[in-house]
């Protein structure tokens, strides 16, 4: 009798636990307000877009213009080609499996200069390798224990040895878990990476980085429709691409753009602006990235424009708590990448980035892929964790938190194998 009660009790508590979880997720989703997305396939003046040509001639340019002037900001002009300096090269790196090359792109004008320090690994004995290209957050030397990775473009023996430099040396390889370098190389791909702060330091100050080089004389801040940092970082990705086109180690037709979080927002915008990237991946990019702004779930425009105003054009502030007046939403950013394969990845514990909003956004972009005869993900429901979808639009929901893991890299490599050949 006692056992019977115990079993009944157990069943009851299991049931209420499940019910709690389910009702929690229903509750959370019920926080999403009713919203109408702007139409992908209807122009601002009401023309119905029916094919690729109409998309490319009418709708794509107007959507691109909205993102440039209202969200990320226009890039004012360009600069003369940089000086390319080869800093270091070795044919036997990472247990002889890789070629390592470190280069510097130096951009200058009369007043100022910036240096982009780029680390390249490609599989050994291979020319024309397909590569993943992505910014890292704090320095190339954090990505791997390889002692020859330069720190801010310098060899260890070129340092004065002050304490901040010693700390940096100690931190070598501290971020290996976010970068599956060995796996990438073994799978026949290379990796090209640089610190995003080389292009524009991530702070609310436009007096440094690439912004200051591209302002007109006497200009100290961006106009309302001019570039914030995401546009500056996107500009940087295109300059790296210019270099990759000249390097025989790399197959410039197979450059896969990758970015996590704020850099996932950047990879989507860079991929929309520059059609030379053959695949675009955004990992946990959230608000201002893959997630729909109108869902107001997790991070809202009012949060992001308050906490990170320098990422966007000043115009973007107008839409804080006023999302319905935006002429676009983020599904349109994903659609700008069509017909090239695009991958949106979310994480189940990353509600700040609104995983479901990222999925719906990717699904909504399918209509444009279909104009090109490619399979989008229109017919898919929000998938369970760790159940990837690899159509021309890829999506997975990692079982875990806001991060880049070996699971994510495994999916990206599979996706690239499927779509690059």
- Out of 261, 267, 315, 364, the only residue in the binding site for ligand GCU (CB under 6 A) is 261
Instruction: Output the smallest distance, CB 406 to ligand GCU, in A.
Output: 19
Instruction: Output the smallest distance, CB 151 to ligand GCU, in A.
Output: 23
Report d(CA 151, CA 353) in Å as an integer: 32
- Residue closer to ligand GCU (CB basis): 300 or 314: 300
Of 400, 399, 362, the C-alpha closest to 381 is 362
Cβ–Cβ under 8 Å, residues 237 and 136: no
Instruction: Output the smallest distance, CB 307 to ligand GCU, in A.
Output: 6
Per the annotation, the verdict on 43 as an active-site residue is no
69, HSE (Cβ side, Cα atoms, 13 Å): 8
DSSP readout, 290-332? TS-GGG--SS-HHHHHHH-GGGS-GGGGGGTT-GGG-S--HHH
From the list 229, 261, 267, 366, the catalytic residue is: 261
- Residue closer to ligand GCU (CB basis): 192 or 304: 304
Query: Per CB under 6 A, does 304 bind ligand GCU?
Result: yes
- Residue closer to ligand GCU (CB basis): 135 or 235: 135
- Residue closer to ligand GCU (CB basis): 352 or 380: 352
- Residue closer to ligand GCU (CB basis): 298 or 341: 298
Report d(CA 299, CA 321) in Å as an integer: 12
Instruction: Output the smallest distance, CB 265 to ligand GCU, in A.
Output: 7
Per the annotation, the verdict on 396 as an active-site residue is no
Query: Per CB under 6 A, does 290 bind ligand GCU?
Result: no
Report d(CA 392, CA 153) in Å as an integer: 37
Instruction: Output the smallest distance, CB 352 to ligand GCU, in A.
Output: 6
- Rounded to 5°, the CA angle 120-108-314 comes to 90
Of 277, 101, 69, the C-alpha closest to 193 is 101
Query: Per CB under 6 A, does 341 bind ligand GCU?
Result: no
- Out of 211, 239, 254, 262, the only residue in the binding site for ligand GCU (CB under 6 A) is 262
Cβ–Cβ under 8 Å, residues 322 and 31: no
Let me know how long the chain is.
421
User: Would you tell me which residues interact with ligand GCU (CB under 6 A)?
Assistant: 261-262, 286-287, 299, 304, 352
Just list the catalytic residues: 261, 402
């Amino acid at each position: 009798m006692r056992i019977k009660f115990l079993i009944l009790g157990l069943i009851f508590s299991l049931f209420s636990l499940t019910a709690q979880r389910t009702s929690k997720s229903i509750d959370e989703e019920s926080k999403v307000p009713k919203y109408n997305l702007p139409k992908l396939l209807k122009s601002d003046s009401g023309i119905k877009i029916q094919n690729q040509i109409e998309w490319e001639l009418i709708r794509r340019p107007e959507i691109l213009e909205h993102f440039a002037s209202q969200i990320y900001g226009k890039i004012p002009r360009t600069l003369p080609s940089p000086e390319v300096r080869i800093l270091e090269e070795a044919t036997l790196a990472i247990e002889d499996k890789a070629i390592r090359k470190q280069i510097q792109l130096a951009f200058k004008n009369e007043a100022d200069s910036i240096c982009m320090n780029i680390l390249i690994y490609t599989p050994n004995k291979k020319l024309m390798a397909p590569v993943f290209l992505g910014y890292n957050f704090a320095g190339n030397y954090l990505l791997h224990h390889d002692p020859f990775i330069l720190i801010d473009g310098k060899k260890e023996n070129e340092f004065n040895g002050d304490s901040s430099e010693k700390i940096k040396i100690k931190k070598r390889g501290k971020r290996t878990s976010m970068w599956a370098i060995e796996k990438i190389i073994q799978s026949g791909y290379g990796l090209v990476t640089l610190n995003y702060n080389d292009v524009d330091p991530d702070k609310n100050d436009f007096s440094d980085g690439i912004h200051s080089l591209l302002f007109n004389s006497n200009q100290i801040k961006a106009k309302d429709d001019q570039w914030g940092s995401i546009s500056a970082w996107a500009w940087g990705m295109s300059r790296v691409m210019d270099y990759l086109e000249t390097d025989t180690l790399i197959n410039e037709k197979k450059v896969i753009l990758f970015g996590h979080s704020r850099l996932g927002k950047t990879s989507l915008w860079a991929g929309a602006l520059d059609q030379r990237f053959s695949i675009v991946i955004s990992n946990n990019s959230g608000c201002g990235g893959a997630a729909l702004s109108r869902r107001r779930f997790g991070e809202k425009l009012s949060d992001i424009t308050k906490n990170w105003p320098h990422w966007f054009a000043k115009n973007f502030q107008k839409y804080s708590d006023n999302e319905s007046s935006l002429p676009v939403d983020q599904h349109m950013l994903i659609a700008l990448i069509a017909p090239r394969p695009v991958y949106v990845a979310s994480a189940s514990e990353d509600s700040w980035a609104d995983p479901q909003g990222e999925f719906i956004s990717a699904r909504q972009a399918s209509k444009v892929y279909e104009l090109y005869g490619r399979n989008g993900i229109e017919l898919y429901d929000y998938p369970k964790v760790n159940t990837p979808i690899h159509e021309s639009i890829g999506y997975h929901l990692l079982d875990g938190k806001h991060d880049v893991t070996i699971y994510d890299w495994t999916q990206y490599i599979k996706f690239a194998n499927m779509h690059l050949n």
